[in-house]
A and B are shown apart, each in its own frame.
Chain A
Amino acid sequence: MTPSTSGVATLRQEQVGRSDSDAVDATLAASGDASAFERLYRAHIGRIHSLVRRMMSDQEADDVAQDVFVRAWQKLGSFRGESAFGTWLHRLAVNVILVRRETLGIRRQRHHEGDAMLEMVPARRAQVELNMDFETAIEQLPDGARQIFVLHDVEGYRHEEIADMLGVAAGTSKSQLHRARMALRRHLDR
């Protein structure tokens, strides 16, 4: 902080937090400013896309991440700024993912177009070796345990919140988390 000559501390521009510029952009975007929305997209796509990838699969991530942002654009009018934009967006993304998972699950045999999407074809760019294997291991968890593990340990939701979102008991959330962690401990050292 650089004290100004009048003695009042002035915040440098860089110190305006992520959430402040988000709030400004969200207000602009809510009134139709697509450039503001693009800034929000660029700031948050990494997190949202990664969330979709971990909760669903690589194949669906692009489509579903797009759907999340399109839905966010439509619902911007209902974002009141009580939470940070990133938190609001994240919650919205989880909703989109959960509904999409269910509808895909129902039509698993009959969705001709989707057959390719459900195949697990690993196609990742080279990255830190350790991170890569751990993420692949997450992908191989059974669906329920995987969703709960991602929501709790990766994304930081509490069991009560997860139980509410997934429509399960909090106890189920805890036991599934434990199963996931026990399965993943084998993939720590590689």
Chain B
Amino acid sequence: MNDPWTDQLSEYLDDELPADDRASLESHLRVCVACTTALADLKRVAVRARALTDRDPAADLWPGIAERIGSATPSSGVPAVRLMRRSGRRWSFSVPELAAACVALMVLSGGAAWLLHPGQVPLAVAPARAPQAGVVSIPASARAGSVGYDGAVADLERVLTEGRGRLDTATVRVIVRNLAAIDSAIAQAQRAVSADSANLYLNSHLAATRRQKLELLRQAASLVSAVS
């Protein structure tokens, strides 16, 4: 029933009708049962809406929130989520730890490049050593992935952990899921290498997969710094 009278009922209820219209409507209400009923209904809807009770969520959300706010101090007065402004290509970071991790990444990328071309260039990160005929020697530092790699990963993971509150839930979920996929691939490659440590392909694949993890962490960390 959408006639001009009923269309005014909500405004009348909310006391928003101009005086003339209000007078006409009130005269109409005296003779129209349908409109009077509708008005009463609308009032009950509004009252019921006001009376809706709030419910806590089924799960306690605080742990998730606490994890995302971490120990970071709230910023003062500056909007935390601004437009994502690219500050340049991959190597521009604002956070000191990021800069340190970034240097480690560049050194390592150079190192990893050696490992990715088995048979073409020496396997060692330090370039002067060539593999001896028939025996593949992989220096301990390269095999362990080197302190540099682990350090860079730890730094970037810390930046991501501290700053992930600034990213929205869906993005965090995508990053975490893909880091897990890469970690799983690294674990499989690692197991394979332990069983066959002289295998050139396995070693280079492990190095390449680790590099992919570093790349994804770097990308996530630069997202974090882009929204801070």
Interface residues of A (CB under 8 A from B): 29-32, 34, 37-38, 41-42, 45-47, 49-50, 54, 61-63, 65-67, 69-71, 73-78, 113-114, 125, 127, 131, 134-135, 149, 153-154, 156, 159, 174-175, 177-178, 181-182, 184-185, 188
Contact = CB atoms under 8 A, between A and B. Distances in A.
Given A70-B65, A153-B45, A177-B10, A50 B55 contact: yes
A70 B68 contact: yes
A154 B46 CA distance: 8
Contacts of B77: 77-78
Contacts of A78: 76-79
B23 interface: no
B140 interface: no
Interface string B144-188: 000000000000000000000110111001100000000000000
27 contacts: A30-B74, A32-B71, A41-B61, A41-B65, A45-B56, A47-B54, A50-B54, A65-B61, A66-B61, A66-B64, A70-B68, A73-B69, A77-B74, A77-B76, A77-B77, A77-B78, A113-B174, A131-B52, A134-B48, A135-B52, A174-B11, A178-B7, A178-B42, A181-B10, A181-B42, A182-B42, A188-B45
Nearest to A135: B52
Contacts of A67: 168-169
B57 interface: yes
Contacts of A149: 49
Contacts of A69: 61, 65
A78 B9 CA distance: 41
Interface of B: 6-7, 9-11, 16, 38, 41-42, 44-46, 48-50, 52-59, 61-62, 64-66, 68-69, 71, 73-81, 165-166, 168-170, 173-174
Most buried by A among B16, B41, B45, B77: B45
Contacts, number: 127
B163 to A, nearest CB: 11
A18 B66 CA distance: 23
A66 B65 contact: yes
B165 A113 contact: no
B202 to A, nearest CB: 33
A38 B11 contact: no
A113 B62 CA distance: 24
Most buried by A among B54, B56, B75: B54
